[in-house]
Amino acid sequence: MAAPQNGEPVANSPELATALRNEIPELTQRLMAAVFTDNPEWTDYSAVTRADLRDGCQRFLTRVVELLGAQGVGAERDDVAASIGELRAEQGVPLEAMLRTFRLGGRIVWEALLDKAEDAPPAAFRETGTTMWAVIDGMSSALVTSYRNTELDRVRRDERRRHGLIEDVLAGRAHDALFAARAARELNLPVHGGYLVVVARGVAHPMHTGSETVLAAMGIRSAWHDRADSTVGLVALEHRKAEPALRRLRPQVRGRAAVSPVAAGLAEIDTAHTLALLALDTVPDDAVGVLVSLDDCYPEALLLRSTDLTQLLVTHALGPVLELPIKERDVLLRTLSVWLAENCSAANAAPRLHCHRNTVINRLQRISTLLGRPLEGQRSYLELSLALAALELGRSAHDRHDREPGPA
């Protein structure tokens, strides 16, 4: 059995650790060599300088020897292993490479211990081996915990930055060409080309997960952002048509959603977002699994954009009817709506209203008398249709207001 300089035999872990302290530089060189020669295909330290890696190996081996001298106490909470894990995670070194390095370091220290304790009694040999690998296991655990926490923090930071960029794009910052280029690069979106903006509301998660993946399968890039009250998607059509993308997105909608007209590049996203919100306001709050396009609801959107004029239109077109008792008013409004929907055919409207054709005609005559003008004619059809649409939008808005919680 080898002995230290005083001639006493080396018999236990603390004594063996003391005997190894002066050999740390040599052990570091051996570990560096092992990292790059033992199964090099498992090694990925491309983001780490040689000097940085050597420093990390030396700090690791020094702490292994120190913990060995302390009988392994505190290895699971070791700050050296934790700091190495945090640094390598930030550098993008794979966790598997780090764990392999720790195992290689443990093997090198163990071989050095064997050289120091060739004649140690079996009990001392077992005690040292148990302590040695408990240290490596504990430090590996500390490494993994720190590495994963750092990765999680990085993912959260990346997600916050990504969401911040999307918010800035929605706010119109992409009119600045430099910002647009940076946002496009970080969001993996093109600066130019056609875009759709999708806005979804109605449930906690108004879009099924995987919308980005569904579009990616078509070669379409997109970015999705959860806000407090909605989910917003930026869909880069580039030179594609919108309808194929919308067909894929419709099954993804859990609540209600609306899509803007095609916008020309990131710089027009803010306007497209406003138009998508406008289209969404035309959808009843209780709608489920619905995706509407602004192209499908221009009349309603126009009414929403000018509420004062809309109210004047409703009063002008239907005022006397709206002043009737509720029951009569609702019957006449329903009759008028169905008649217009059936291309102004009383015969076609009657089955839907569950009444005789003559009843429909009598109700229409009653409306005409109240309004003081005939119901026929292109302008009358337009005004009446818009007024009825405005009433429906008003009911939806009233229902929405009634469902909103009051102040606490």
DSSP SS3 for 200? strand
My answer on whether 30 and 75 are in the same domain is yes
**Residue 163 bridge partners (DSSP):** none
- The answer to whether the CB of 75 falls within 8 A of the CB of 138 is yes
Identify whether 389 is part of a domain.
Answer: yes
Per-residue pLDDT, 271: 93
Per-residue pLDDT, 42: 61
My answer on whether 229 and 275 are in the same domain is yes
> Which stretches of the chain drop beneath a pLDDT of 70?
1-13, 38-43, 117-122, 124-125, 396-408
My answer on whether 77 and 25 are in the same domain is yes
My answer on whether 316 and 292 are in the same domain is no
My answer on whether 35 and 149 are in the same domain is yes
Identify whether 277 is part of a domain.
Answer: yes
**Residue 43 bridge partners (DSSP):** none
My answer on whether 291 and 319 are in the same domain is no
How far apart are the C-alpha atoms of 14 and 67, rounded to whole Å?
A: 9
**Can you say how many angstroms the Cα of residue 127 is from the centroid of all Cα atoms in its chain?**
51
Q: What is the domain range of residue 72? A: 13-154
Please name which of 96, 99, 106, 159 lies closest in space to residue 130, comparing C-alpha atoms. Answer: 106
Per-residue pLDDT, 147: 94
My answer on whether 329 and 376 are in the same domain is yes
The Cα-based distances of 60 to 35, 98, 366 in angstroms read 14, 11, 93
How far apart are the C-alpha atoms of 275 and 134, rounded to whole Å?
A: 63
DSSP SS3 for 288? coil
Identify whether 261 is part of a domain.
Answer: yes
CATH of the domain at 107: 1.10.490
How far apart are the C-alpha atoms of 88 and 39, rounded to whole Å?
A: 20
- The answer to whether the CB of 291 falls within 8 A of the CB of 217 is no
Residue 121: partners with Cβ closer than 8 Å, 6 or more residues away = 11
Q: Which of 250, 269, 296 is the C-terminal boundary of a domain? A: 296
Please name which of 302, 306, 287 lies closest in space to residue 400, comparing C-alpha atoms. Answer: 287
Per-residue pLDDT, 362: 93
Please count the structural domains in the chain. Answer: 3
Q: Give the pair of three-digit tokens for residue 386.
A: 């818009």
Per-residue pLDDT, 407: 36
Q: Which of 274, 296, 318 is the C-terminal boundary of a domain? A: 296
The Cα-based distances of 315 to 31, 195, 337 in angstroms read 87, 39, 16
The Cα-based distances of 277 to 53, 90, 173, 203, 223 in angstroms read 53, 39, 19, 16, 17
Per-residue pLDDT, 408: 32
Per-residue pLDDT, 35: 87
* Number of residues written out for the chain: 408
My answer on whether 338 and 207 are in the same domain is no
Claim: this prediction has a pTM higher than 0.85: no
Around Cβ 127, how many Cβ atoms within 10 Å? 16
How far apart are the C-alpha atoms of 311 and 387, rounded to whole Å?
A: 9
Helix pair 95-116, 122-170: axis angle to 10 deg: 160
- According to DSSP, the β-strands at 231-238 and 263-264 are unpaired
Q: Give the pair of three-digit tokens for residue 266.
A: 């990131």
My answer on whether 281 and 311 are in the same domain is no
Identify whether 191 is part of a domain.
Answer: no
Identify whether 175 is part of a domain.
Answer: no
Task: Return the residue matching tokens 């959808």.
Answer: 283
My answer on whether 310 and 267 are in the same domain is no
Identify whether 120 is part of a domain.
Answer: yes
Identify whether 123 is part of a domain.
Answer: yes
My answer on whether 325 and 290 are in the same domain is no
Q: Give the pair of three-digit tokens for residue 369.
A: 């008398």
Please name which of 205, 199, 181 lies closest in space to residue 191, comparing C-alpha atoms. Answer: 181
How far apart are the C-alpha atoms of 106 and 137, rounded to whole Å?
A: 9
CA-based max dimension of the chain: 123
My answer on whether 256 and 353 are in the same domain is no
Name the DSSP class of 262: P
Q: Which of 296, 322, 351 is the C-terminal boundary of a domain? A: 296
Identify whether 4 is part of a domain.
Answer: no
